[in-house]
């Protein structure tokens, strides 16, 4: 599975959009981009995933570049409850093991 | 949505005892479940992949006799930490495969294990 690179930490003001980048330059054609987050002392929570088209759900938007080598997770109106570690993972299917990096620790400030 | 329940959420026990952690898929069936371990300020590390009705597949460096995994039904997988020692203290998390090829895994809330 392809490796991902994320900045270790980011800050965002409450109410503003949070844009979290992820590089996955070695992604294969059959690999999806998944985003999860982990709030302190809880299990990971799924946010969104996509293959090549941009995706949007009630939590976030996912923008994938045309060459698929990077993506951006957008939280449109960040709240204090969005403070968490955000993980970008590329994976070819649901029964494949997920490789977790260190993610991006997002701090949403009042 | 798909819910994974993990029990207990928190356990403290004496060194040398065995501890069993349960992972249940509440409203769906899961042929494959995964067990992770997470140390403070570190990422999740996959320990093993649990397949219903067959032996678990362990990651390199994970002792299968130390961490016993049983996946006897499509809704329940258990992890038993045998003869636990303080170095086994960690946050253990399970997940279940998604329903559909590209669907995400569903995670439990984790078990905080502290060995005294």
For residues A72 and A42, what is the distance between their CA atoms, to the nearest angstrom? 24
Instruction: Please tell me the number of Cα atoms within 13 Å of B62 on its side-chain side.
Output: 19
Map residue A82 onto helix, strand or coil: helix
User: What rounded mean pLDDT belongs to chain A?
Assistant: 93
Alpha helix locations (H) across chain B? none
CB contact under 8 A, B105 and A94: yes
For residues A53 and A56, what is the distance between their CA atoms, to the nearest angstrom? 10
For residues A40 and A21, what is the distance between their CA atoms, to the nearest angstrom? 21
Q: Is cis: bond before A25, omega within 30 of 0?
A: no
CA distances from A101 to A8, B10, B49, B101, B116 (A): 10, 25, 19, 22, 30
Map residue B26 onto helix, strand or coil: coil
Residues of chain A with pLDDT > 90, as a percent, come to: 82
- Which residue's entry shows tokens 């449109």? A76
For residues A86 and A45, what is the distance between their CA atoms, to the nearest angstrom? 9
Mean pLDDT of A85-110: 88
CB contact under 8 A, B107 and A43: yes
Nearest residue, CB atoms, A32 vs list B43, B102, B109: B102
Nearest residue, CB atoms, B109 vs list A42, A49, A97: A42
**Contacting residues of B for A30, CB less than 8 Å apart:** none
For residues B28 and B103, what is the distance between their CA atoms, to the nearest angstrom? 13
Is residue A82 a contact partner of residue A18, using CB atoms and an 8 Å limit?
yes
- For B4, the closest chain A residue by CA position comes to A43
For residues A78 and A94, what is the distance between their CA atoms, to the nearest angstrom? 28
**Contacting residues of B for A34, CB less than 8 Å apart:** 104
Confirm or reject contact between A80 and chain B (CB < 8 A): no
For residues A25 and B41, what is the distance between their CA atoms, to the nearest angstrom? 26
CB contact under 8 A, B43 and A42: no
Please report the number of interchain residue pairs, chain A to chain B, with beta-carbon separation below 8 angstroms: 61
**Contacting residues of A for B91, CB less than 8 Å apart:** 41
Q: Is the pLDDT of residue A93 over 70?
A: no
pLDDT at position B30: 86
State the CB neighbour count (10 A cutoff) for residue A79.
13
Mean pLDDT of A104-108: 97
Residues B91, B97, B98, CA angle at the centre, nearest 5°? 125
Residues B115, B46, A61, CA angle at the centre, nearest 5°? 115
pLDDT at position A96: 75
pLDDT at position B100: 76
**Contacting residues of B for A28, CB less than 8 Å apart:** none
**Contacting residues of B for A99, CB less than 8 Å apart:** 46
pLDDT at position A104: 97
For residues B46 and A89, what is the distance between their CA atoms, to the nearest angstrom? 14
Q: Is the pLDDT of residue A94 over 80?
A: no
- pLDDT tens across A8-59, in order? 999 999 999 999 999 999 998 889 999 999 998 899 999 999 999 999 999 9
Q: Is the pLDDT of residue A85 over 60?
A: yes
CB contact under 8 A, A43 and B101: no
Ramachandran angles phi, psi of A80, nearest 5°: -60, -30
Instruction: Locate B100 and state its tokens.
Output: 């559909």
- pLDDT per 10-residue tile (average), chain B, 116 residues: 91 96 92 93 93 91 95 92 96 88 89 96
Confirm or reject contact between A53 and chain B (CB < 8 A): no
């Amino acid at each position: 599975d392809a490796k991902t690179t994320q900045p270790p930490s980011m800050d965002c003001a409450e109410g503003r959009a949070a844009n979290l980048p992820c590089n996955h330059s070695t992604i294969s054609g059959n690999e999806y981009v998944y985003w999860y987050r982990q709030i302190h002392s809880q299990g990971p929570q799924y946010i969104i995933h996509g293959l090549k088209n941009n995706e949007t759900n009630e939590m976030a938007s996912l923008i994938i570049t045309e060459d698929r080598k990077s993506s951006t997770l957008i939280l449109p109106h960040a709240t204090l409850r969005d403070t968490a570690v955000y993980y970008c993972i590329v994976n070819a299917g649901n029964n494949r093991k997920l490789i977790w990096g260190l993610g991006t620790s997002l701090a949403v400030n009042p | 949505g798909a819910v994974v329940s993990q029990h207990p959420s928190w356990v403290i026990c004496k060194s040398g005892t065995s501890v069993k952690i349960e992972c249940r898929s509440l409203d769906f069936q899961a042929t494959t479940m995964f067990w992770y371990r997470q140390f403070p300020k570190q990422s999740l590390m996959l320990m093993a992949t649990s397949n219903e009705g067959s032996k678990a597949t362990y990651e390199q460096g994970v002792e299968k006799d130390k961490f016993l995994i049983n996946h006897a039904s499509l809704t329940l997988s258990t992890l038993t930490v045998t003869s636990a020692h303080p170095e086994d203290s960690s946050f253990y998390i399970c997940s279940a495969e998604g329903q559909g090829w590209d669907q995400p895994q569903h995670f439990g809330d984790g078990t905080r294990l502290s060995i005294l």
